[in-house]
């Protein structure tokens, strides 16, 4: 464990922090579990956690119901979340006005990863966690994943393990602690506290938990539907420093240089911040919560609330019987997207430094209208009916990329506690065709600048946070 | 003018930026106007800009009226701002639920200061600007102060001078560009773009404008009601670096060291950010807009909308006849606070480095519930009826400070375009009685940490931004 700074002295950022993270990033073999050991542990956990999830009628959920006047779907306790309506008007994009259902979950939850030095290398305590919406049941999740309703135990379940490590963390042990948004198309102003806390030797891995290095986790990120969205967003917020040594490939070397502030970039950080401010000032979006029953073009049947043309997503209900959750059976609503999404980051080097092309994206559920998104973020199926000129820029390019230019290509799941079978194809594609002068609404950032923005709230959206982790894994 | 970086090269933060700002900070005599010249110019501008402001009945305002169903007060164009109601519930503070009128101005305006090098020293282009709510008419304002309604010319007035310098600024000439909130007790989610842009020799000072160094402006900040709120907030967002040389007094030297990251502080920046995240997670505040006519405990008479017990503020109407504004006469509502406010920063040094004690403050109009406020921010008159135990912490200490410990003490005006005779006593007081372990809700920050947070939105509230400028002037 890293020594505590002497009391009575002034403190500075720990200069060894980034090299300790770097060492863990490079440790592709763990000090606790090798690959075979991890596979055996995971298979074991998958056998142990057998949940049965089946769809049920919306009105048959115990403790969930539709409010009489508004038609909003909520829990009798008034906690957890509600499904409500939202009416949106905006001055940007091809569609300027619409209404839709949205999940309203105003509480701030905790997504926390505990890290501990084992044989001189930082290891992350990850959890094999079954979520009802996952296509494959168990995925690798943070140490703690707790809504405020969870940890105030509204549902009367068991105590969330390891939670005090985060709620009562010693400030000097906190490596990351930042509020970040989640899907602004599906959530109304949802934020979670993304935390990484260093813990001592006394913290051991419980039954559903294991210690993995950052390098192991990034390797596992390349497998479909394995590292959960919650784990990915927390990993993206770590204070990575510049990479060390020379990269083994030109791409790796350009990425390493991109992580070092001193290499510079196409734009200074002051310019990047000014561009973001300009995007906020330019775009207007008014999102007004409305009763769910007042949402035009969506209709409710026994089993789902769906768009009349079958687009976007459905709200459905599931019954879950579990053997390893806080409570053993429950029903809940889930949001089921139509089609697999795509989230792609175009990258290229300028003067030997890798740059990523981000897009200032407007989503109705964001607290502040605009966040930086991947170059392309879309559900292709939703654009089938949209005229070619209005399809998202670069979409066609990333749907059919040159395989030699693809640095990352994996289908990953979104949060299985709220979404049913929500999957996104995450791509990192090198492309030299986009000029230094990015098109309006797009901007070239270095990895260093992304990492710096990730220390603050509401700059980088959840899909771009996943892709930042993917970039480190590429 | 500073040379442009060569095209085709990667760029880094300009290393000379902070020393150029420092040189201007130290220039207490301007290269353009000395003190006598400035006084003559200001007296001249005060004579030239004679507005007549008088109170009129609320219903006699041309183009402003109360909406039939809601009682909201708005402009016929639907632009500018409205006075609406807000209903607040919160889990913190002595009062947990209330309703009040609030100004809703969702547009993002621009507050911009143009800076230009004259004889090797940066000078700020400030404007002598009459605002109807100012106690003394003309104050020193930014080069540009434009709402979106202003610059899209809803009122059909003259073009805002110098506005293109900001709207079309070359990115490499931007020194600061950040959205910042304003009074969260009076404004619902109001934000302005705080900009500083370096301009070339071709930009000259027009009739109501003059060039002053940062040092001159900070000296003028010590005069009552002279440097406007808009000028103060923009000045606070400049990327000041560490101070140079040794300070002439122990206080100045502790402040200089506080501005240097390398000196360290009681808490690392990671810890400060984590504390702020925790404050967001801890406090819940739900602010719901309601019709103005539904606000309990407030009543409307011919001349004002006021609290039944005369507390907090009034909404009044004024008629303005001017000779130097975009249009020559108009009526408008203004918010008139009851009593002079107090905003005080307790400061002390730890190990030779000055620290400031900030308070995580919840206000209903903030976009994100909590911002960092001065140690004390209150209107003493509003607390006359509150039991002693519920008076704001440290209030009594700063109402009657030891004169030997007062480093700054000036009454300054809040925005005269929206507020009538709104004045706040700004204090910086050295106090060794507060321990390193600050009370809950308070935290010790260095000047460097404050400056770093000021590069981002919604960390530091408008009163604390003023006090950061006052601290540099102290």
Measured between beta carbons, the chain B residues lying within 8 angstroms of A353 are 10
Measured distance CA(A267)–CA(B12) in Å, rounded: 8
Measured in angstroms, the CA of A197 and the nearest CA of chain B are apart by 11
Measured distance CA(A398)–CA(A375) in Å, rounded: 9
Measured distance CA(B66)–CA(B80) in Å, rounded: 15
Picking from B11, B176, B286, the nearest residue to A266 by CB comes out as B11
Instruction: Note whether A10 contacts B350, CB cutoff 8 Å.
Output: yes
Burial of A65 (0-12, 13-18, 19+ CB in 10 A): middle
| Torsion sign across C-alpha atoms B173, B175, B181, B187 | negative
Measured distance CA(B333)–CA(B315) in Å, rounded: 7
Measured distance CA(A470)–CA(A449) in Å, rounded: 16
* Three-point CA angle B71, B77, B82, nearest 5°: 40
Measured in angstroms, the CA of A149 and the nearest CA of chain B are apart by 13
In terms of CA atoms, which chain B residue is nearest residue A109? B281
B152 inside 8 A of chain A by CB: no
Per DSSP, what are the bridge partners of residue A288?
A87
Residue of A281, A348, A456 to mutate, interface with B, max B Cβ within 10 Å: A281
Picking from B171, B351, B455, the nearest residue to A9 by CB comes out as B351
| CA atoms lying within 13 Å on the CB side of residue B88 | 24
Instruction: Note whether A179 contacts B455, CB cutoff 8 Å.
Output: no
pLDDT at B144: 98
Measured between beta carbons, the chain A residues lying within 8 angstroms of B177 are 270, 273-274, 277-278
**CB burial readout B20-41, b (16+ within 10 A) else e:** bbbbbbebeebbbbeeeebeeb
A152 inside 8 A of chain B by CB: no
Record the tokens describing residue A371, joined without a space: 């966040």
Measured distance CA(A154)–CA(B458) in Å, rounded: 32
Is residue A470 classed as helix, strand or coil in its secondary structure? Answer: helix
B415 close to B229: Cβ distance less than 8 angstroms: yes
pLDDT at A14: 87
Q: Which helix (H) or strand (E) holds A285?
A: strand A285-290
Residues in chain A: 474
Measured between beta carbons, the chain B residues lying within 8 angstroms of A284 are 106
Instruction: Note whether B10 contacts A239, CB cutoff 8 Å.
Output: no
Measured in angstroms, the CA of B215 and the nearest CA of chain A are apart by 23
Measured between beta carbons, the chain B residues lying within 8 angstroms of A177 are 270, 273-274, 277-278
Measured distance CA(B24)–CA(B119) in Å, rounded: 11
Instruction: Note whether A11 contacts B280, CB cutoff 8 Å.
Output: no
In terms of CA atoms, which chain A residue is nearest residue B289? A288
A273 inside 8 A of chain B by CB: yes
Query: What distances in angstroms separate CA B115 from CA A447, B25, B29, B68, one per listed residue?
Result: 31, 13, 16, 47
Instruction: Note whether B177 contacts A13, CB cutoff 8 Å.
Output: no
A146 close to A194: Cβ distance less than 8 angstroms: no
Calculate mean pLDDT across residues B33-60.
Answer: 94
Instruction: Note whether A11 contacts B265, CB cutoff 8 Å.
Output: yes
Count the Cβ atoms, other than its own, within 10 Å of residue B352: 12
Q: Higher-confidence residue: B350 or B391? A: B350
Terminal CA-to-CA distance of chain A, rounded, Å? 30
B163 inside 8 A of chain A by CB: no
Instruction: Note whether B106 contacts A179, CB cutoff 8 Å.
Output: no
Is residue A370 classed as helix, strand or coil in its secondary structure? Answer: strand
Instruction: Note whether B269 contacts A368, CB cutoff 8 Å.
Output: no
Interface of B with A in 104-133 (CB under 8 A): 106, 108, 110
Instruction: Note whether A14 contacts B278, CB cutoff 8 Å.
Output: no
* Residues ≥6 apart with Cβ < 8 Å to A76: A63, A64, A65
A350 inside 8 A of chain B by CB: yes
Among A121, A127, A147, A108, which residue's Cα sits nearest to residue A231? A127
Picking from B10, B177, B239, the nearest residue to A266 by CB comes out as B10
A11 inside 8 A of chain B by CB: yes
* Residues ≥6 apart with Cβ < 8 Å to B328: B321, B322
Phi-psi region of A271 (alpha: psi -120 to 50; beta: other; left: phi over 0): alpha
Picking from B106, B264, B455, the nearest residue to A10 by CB comes out as B264
Among B107, B190, B141, which residue's Cα sits nearest to residue B371? B190
B120 close to B160: Cβ distance less than 8 angstroms: no
Residues A235-253 pLDDT 10s? 999 999 887 788 899 999 9
Measured between beta carbons, the chain B residues lying within 8 angstroms of A273 are 177-178, 455-456
Within A156-249, residue ranges assigned H as helices are: 163-167, 214-220, 229-236
Instruction: Note whether B270 contacts A367, CB cutoff 8 Å.
Output: no
Confidence of residue B14 (pLDDT cuts 50, 70, 90): confident
Q: Which helix (H) or strand (E) holds A122?
A: strand A121-130
Measured distance CA(A212)–CA(A32) in Å, rounded: 7
A351 inside 8 A of chain B by CB: yes
Among B8, B15, B473, B18, which residue's Cα sits nearest to residue B243? B18
Residue of A2, A193, A274, A445 to mutate, interface with B, max B Cβ within 10 Å: A274
Q: Higher-confidence residue: A9 or A463? A: A463
Measured in angstroms, the CA of B20 and the nearest CA of chain A are apart by 16
A335 close to A186: Cβ distance less than 8 angstroms: yes
Residues A307-332 pLDDT 10s? 999 999 999 999 999 876 555 889 99
| Torsion sign across C-alpha atoms A50, A54, A60, A65 | positive
Confidence of residue B5 (pLDDT cuts 50, 70, 90): very low
Residues B217-240 pLDDT 10s? 999 999 999 999 999 999 999 999
Confidence of residue A388 (pLDDT cuts 50, 70, 90): confident
Measured between beta carbons, the chain B residues lying within 8 angstroms of A171 are 267, 271, 274-275
In terms of CA atoms, which chain A residue is nearest residue B108? A281
pLDDT at A9: 84
Residues A406-452 pLDDT 10s? 999 999 999 999 999 999 999 999 999 999 999 999 999 999 999 99
Residue whose pair of structure tokens reads 């000047």 in the numeric block: B447
A281 inside 8 A of chain B by CB: yes
Confidence of residue A254 (pLDDT cuts 50, 70, 90): very high
pLDDT at B3: 37
| CA atoms lying within 13 Å on the CB side of residue B334 | 26
A13 inside 8 A of chain B by CB: yes
User: What is the full DSSP assignment across A56-91?
Assistant: E-GGG-TTEEE-TTT--EEETTS-S-EEEEEEEEES
Q: What share of chain A is helix, strand, coil (3-state, %, to 5)?
A: 25, 35, 40
Instruction: Note whether B270 contacts A353, CB cutoff 8 Å.
Output: no
pLDDT at A325: 52
Residues B149-196 pLDDT 10s? 777 655 566 789 999 999 999 999 999 999 999 999 999 999 999 999
Measured distance CA(A123)–CA(A203) in Å, rounded: 12
SS3 for chain B is CCCCCCCCCCECCCCCHHHHHHHHHHCCCCCCCCHHHHHHHHHHHHHHCCCEEEEECHHHCCCEEECCCCCCEEECCCCCCEEEEEEEEECCCCCCEEEEEEEECCCEEEEEEEEEEECCEEEEEEEEEECCCCCCCEEEECCEEECHHHHCCCCCCCCCCCHHHHHCCCHHHEEEEEEEECCCCCEECCEEEEEEEECCCCCCCCCCEEEEEHHHHHHHCCCCCCECHHHHHHHHCCCCCCCCCCCCCHHHHHHHHHCCHHHCECCCHHHHHHHHHHHHHHCCEEEEEECHHHCCCEEECCCEEEECCCCCEEEEEEEEECCCCCCCEEEEEEEEECCCEEEEEEEEEECCEEEEEEEEEECCCCCCCEEEECCEEECHHHHCCCCHHHCCCCHHHHHCCCHHHEEEEEEEECCCCCECCCEEEEEEEECCCCCCCCCCCEEEEEHHHHHHHCCCCCCECHHHHHHHHHHHHC
Measured distance CA(A376)–CA(A441) in Å, rounded: 12
Measured distance CA(B33)–CA(B12) in Å, rounded: 34
Measured distance CA(B400)–CA(B431) in Å, rounded: 12
Q: Which helix (H) or strand (E) holds A181?
A: strand A174-181
Range with the lowest mean pLDDT among A386-390, B104-108, B213-217? A386-390
In terms of CA atoms, which chain A residue is nearest residue B171? A271
B77 inside 8 A of chain A by CB: no
Interface of A with B in 169-228 (CB under 8 A): 169, 171-172, 174-179, 193
Instruction: Note whether A13 contacts B268, CB cutoff 8 Å.
Output: yes
Measured between beta carbons, the chain B residues lying within 8 angstroms of A152 are none
Instruction: Note whether A273 contacts B10, CB cutoff 8 Å.
Output: no
Measured distance CA(A107)–CA(B4) in Å, rounded: 47
Picking from A172, A174, A265, the nearest residue to B10 by CB comes out as A265
B351 inside 8 A of chain A by CB: yes
Instruction: Note whether B274 contacts A14, CB cutoff 8 Å.
Output: no
Query: What distances in angstroms separate CA B338 from CA A262, B193, B376, B427, one per listed residue?
Result: 52, 28, 18, 20
A151 close to A167: Cβ distance less than 8 angstroms: yes
Count the Cβ atoms, other than its own, within 10 Å of residue B164: 12
User: Where are the extended beta strands (E) located within A291-439?
Assistant: 298-300, 304-307, 313-321, 329-337, 341-350, 353-362, 370-373, 376-378, 406-413, 423-430
Instruction: Note whether B172 contacts A271, CB cutoff 8 Å.
Output: yes
Calculate mean pLDDT across residues B285-311.
Answer: 95
Measured distance CA(B92)–CA(B279) in Å, rounded: 11
Calculate mean pLDDT across residues A14-27.
Answer: 93
Among A452, A451, A283, A444, which residue's Cα sits nearest to residue B171? A444
Calculate mean pLDDT across residues A94-101.
Answer: 93
Picking from A171, A278, A367, the nearest residue to B368 by CB comes out as A367
A18 close to A239: Cβ distance less than 8 angstroms: yes
Measured distance CA(B146)–CA(B160) in Å, rounded: 7
Instruction: Note whether A281 contacts B239, CB cutoff 8 Å.
Output: no
Range with the lowest mean pLDDT among A285-294, B4-13, B44-53, B279-288? B4-13
Residues in chain B: 474
- Range with top average pLDDT, A218-232, B94-108, B158-172, B325-339: A218-232
User: What is the full DSSP assignment across A7-44?
Assistant: TTS-B---TTHHHHHHHHHH--S-SS--HHHHHHHHHH
Calculate mean pLDDT across residues B188-210.
Answer: 96
């Amino acid at each position: 464990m890293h020594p505590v700074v002497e009391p009575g002295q002034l403190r500075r950022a720990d200069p060894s922090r980034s090299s300790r993270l770097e060492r863990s990033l490079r440790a592709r073999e763990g000090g606790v579990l090798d690959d075979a050991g991890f596979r055996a542990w995971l298979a074991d956990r998958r056998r142990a956690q057998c949940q049965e999830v089946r769809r049920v009628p919306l009105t048959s959920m115990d403790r969930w119901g539709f409010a009489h006047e508004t038609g909003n779907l909520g829990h009798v306790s008034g906690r957890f979340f509600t499904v409500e309506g939202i009416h949106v008007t905006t001055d940007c994009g091809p569609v300027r006005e619409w209404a839709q259902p949205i999940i309203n979950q105003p509480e701030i939850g905790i997504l926390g990863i505990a890290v501990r030095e084992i044989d001189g290398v930082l290891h992350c305590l990850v959890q094999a966690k079954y979520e009802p919406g996952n296509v494959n049941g168990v995925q690798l999740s943070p140490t703690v994943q707790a809504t405020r309703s969870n940890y105030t135990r509204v549902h009367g379940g068991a105590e969330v393990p390891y939670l005090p490590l985060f709620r009562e963390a010693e400030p000097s042990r906190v490596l990351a602690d930042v509020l970040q948004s989640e899907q602004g198309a599906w959530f109304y102003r949802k934020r979670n506290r993304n935390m990484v806390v260093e813990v001592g030797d006394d913290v051991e891995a419980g039954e559903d938990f294991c210690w993995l290095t950052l390098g192991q986790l990034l390797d596992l990120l390349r497998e479909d539907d394995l590292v959960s969205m919650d784990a990915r967003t927390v990993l993206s917020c770590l204070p990575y420093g510049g990479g060390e040594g020379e990269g083994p490939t030109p791409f790796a070397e350009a990425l390493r240089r991109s992580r070092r502030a001193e290499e510079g970039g196409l734009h200074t950080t002051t310019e990047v911040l000014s561009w973001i401010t300009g995007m906020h000032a330019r775009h207007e979006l008014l999102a007004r919560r409305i009763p769910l029953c007042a949402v035009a073009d969506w209709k409710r049947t026994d089993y789902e609330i769906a768009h009349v043309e079958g687009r976007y997503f459905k709200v459905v209900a599931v019954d879950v019987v579990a053997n390893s959750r806080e409570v053993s059976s429950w029903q809940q609503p889930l949001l089921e997207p139509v089609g697999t999404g795509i989230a792609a980051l175009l990258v290229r080097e300028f003067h030997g430094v890798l740059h990523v092309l981000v897009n200032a994206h407007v989503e109705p559920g964001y607290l502040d209208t605009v966040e930086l998104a991947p170059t392309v973020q879309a559900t292709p199926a939703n654009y089938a009916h949209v005229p070619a000129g209005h399809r998202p820029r670069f979409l066609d390019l990333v749907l059919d990329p040159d395989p030699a230019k693809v640095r990352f290509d994996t289908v990953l799941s979104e949060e299985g506690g709220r979404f049913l079978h929500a999957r996104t194809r995450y791509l990192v594609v090198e492309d030299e065709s986009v000029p230094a002068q990015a098109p309006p609404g797009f901007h070239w950032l270095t990895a260093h600048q992304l990492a710096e923005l990730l220390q603050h709230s509401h700059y980088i959206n959840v899909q771009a946070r996943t892709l930042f982790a993917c970039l480190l894994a590429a």
